[in-house]
């Protein structure tokens, strides 16, 4: 009996294309399924369509459209390899009786680690000092050059979900005062464990923060939640860190804030789009560092994400409860 098919974009680095699925993803899935690449599928839809039981979506590929779903009569699930699924039209997909899943929990530590790394880098200006000491023009060291404290300062976390809470645990280890804004308040015991103070109003929290870290999912409500009004409320010495989605920050307002002294620095793992156009103003500013959306980019984390996606597909095909189903 032939294996059921899982539709994927392409293998990473195949035909010169980056950001495809990796060999370890293929190895995990081919324990039970056969991968069909989008290029092969499109060349002979009639041959493959009836055997496709799942679409594995990685970095928004392949695009999951209504047209595609209508071609797949036995599709059971769209399995997103990642936590964020704002690129998927979940109501549309579910209207066909197709389940949707993502891969939470397994990337929380890696993403929060990166958030703290960006915070530490921005606060202590590691990137610029490393560049300085590598420069052939550097012949002496300015011992009176000083950066920002981290320990004992105040962090405001925008979004206290799983990743936000992991960030708070790490911030506590640095003896930071922890403030947070979330659509709902955490349990008092959870607050006490990290010494966090809740603000129902974001704008009331911002003036108190030395660092603001955004960990929210991107939704209609969180789109550009950090905008001109918010930057004007922050300390001129404050540092913004974004490890959520680029769309949660108004980038034009951020450029203005950074060039007009409203905030001191920004450290971004996410932008909109990714990568930014090469002439984007953010890329020319010295008080910005940008990393390539690498929050989950560790080997063990990506293997765990692939495994969770696989487990979701198996559950959908077997008719059992999905480990991490998305409903809306």
CATH code at 94?
Answer: 3.40.50.720
- Predicted pLDDT of residue 152: 98
For residues 222 and 282, membership in a common domain is answered with yes
Q: Please indicate whether residue 61 is annotated as part of the active site.
A: no
Q: Please indicate whether residue 87 is annotated as part of the active site.
A: no
What CA–CA distance (Å, rounded) separates 27 from 18?
Answer: 19
Task: Name the active-site residue from 170, 181, 186, 245.
Answer: 245
For residues 167 and 24, membership in a common domain is answered with no
Question: Which two tokens mark 282?
Answer: 């953010």
Q: Please indicate whether residue 66 is annotated as part of the active site.
A: no
Candidates 28, 24, 76, 70; CA nearest to 55 is: 76
Stretches where the chain sits below pLDDT 50 are none
Q: Tell me which residue range forms the domain holding 225.
A: 108-290
Task: Name the active-site residue from 170, 181, 186, 293.
Answer: 293
Task: Name the active-site residue from 94, 256, 272, 274.
Answer: 274
Per the CB < 8 A criterion, the answer to whether 112 and 166 are in contact is yes
For residues 130 and 275, membership in a common domain is answered with yes
For residues 119 and 174, membership in a common domain is answered with yes
Per the CB < 8 A criterion, the answer to whether 80 and 107 are in contact is no
pLDDT digits 0-9 by tens, 183-199: 999 999 999 999 999 99
Cis preceding-peptide flag for 273 (omega within 30 of 0): yes
pLDDT digits 0-9 by tens, 162-185: 999 999 999 999 999 999 999 999
- Predicted pLDDT of residue 166: 98
Whether the predicted model's global pTM rises above the 0.85 cut: yes
- Predicted pLDDT of residue 297: 96
- Predicted pLDDT of residue 15: 84
- Predicted pLDDT of residue 22: 93
For residues 115 and 80, membership in a common domain is answered with no
What CA–CA distance (Å, rounded) separates 44 from 292?
Answer: 35
């Amino acid at each position: 009996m032939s294996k059921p098919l899982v539709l994927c974009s392409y293998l990473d680095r195949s035909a010169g294309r980056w950001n495809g699925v990796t060999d370890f993803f293929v190895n995990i899935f081919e324990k039970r399924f056969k991968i069909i690449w989008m290029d092969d599928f499109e060349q002979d839809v009639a041959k493959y369509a009836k055997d496709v039981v799942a679409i594995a979506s990685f970095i928004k590929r392949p695009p999951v459209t209504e047209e595609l779903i209508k071609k797949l009569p036995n599709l059971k699930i769209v399995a997103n390899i990642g936590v964020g699924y704002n690129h998927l039209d979940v109501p549309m997909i579910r209207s066909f009786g197709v389940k949707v899943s993502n891969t939470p929990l397994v990337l929380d530590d890696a993403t929060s680690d990166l958030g703290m790394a960006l915070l530490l880098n921005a606060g202590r200006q590691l990137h610029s000092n490393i560049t300085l000491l590598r420069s052939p023009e550097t012949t002496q060291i300015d011992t009176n050059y000083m950066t920002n404290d981290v320990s004992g300062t105040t962090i405001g976390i925008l979004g206290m979900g799983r990743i936000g809470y992991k960030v708070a645990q790490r911030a506590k280890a640095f003896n930071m005062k922890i403030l947070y804004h979330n659509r709902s308040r955490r349990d008092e015991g959870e607050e006490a464990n990290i010494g966090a103070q809740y603000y129902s109003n974001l704008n009331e929290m911002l003036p108190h923060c030395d660092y603001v870290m955004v960990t929210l999912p991107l939704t209609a409500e969180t789109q550009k939640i950090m905008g001109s009004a918010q930057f004007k409320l922050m300390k001129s010495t404050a540092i913004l860190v974004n490890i959520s989605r680029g769309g949660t920050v108004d980038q034009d307002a951020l450029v203005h804030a950074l060039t007009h002294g409203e905030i001191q620095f920004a450290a971004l793992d996410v932008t909109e789009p990714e990568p930014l156009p090469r002439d984007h103003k953010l890329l020319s500013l010295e008080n910005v560092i940008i990393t390539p959306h690498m929050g989950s980019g560790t080997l063990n984390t990506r293997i765990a994400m692939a495994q969770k996606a696989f487990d979701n597909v198996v559950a959908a095909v077997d008719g059992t409860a999905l480990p991490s189903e998305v409903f809306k």
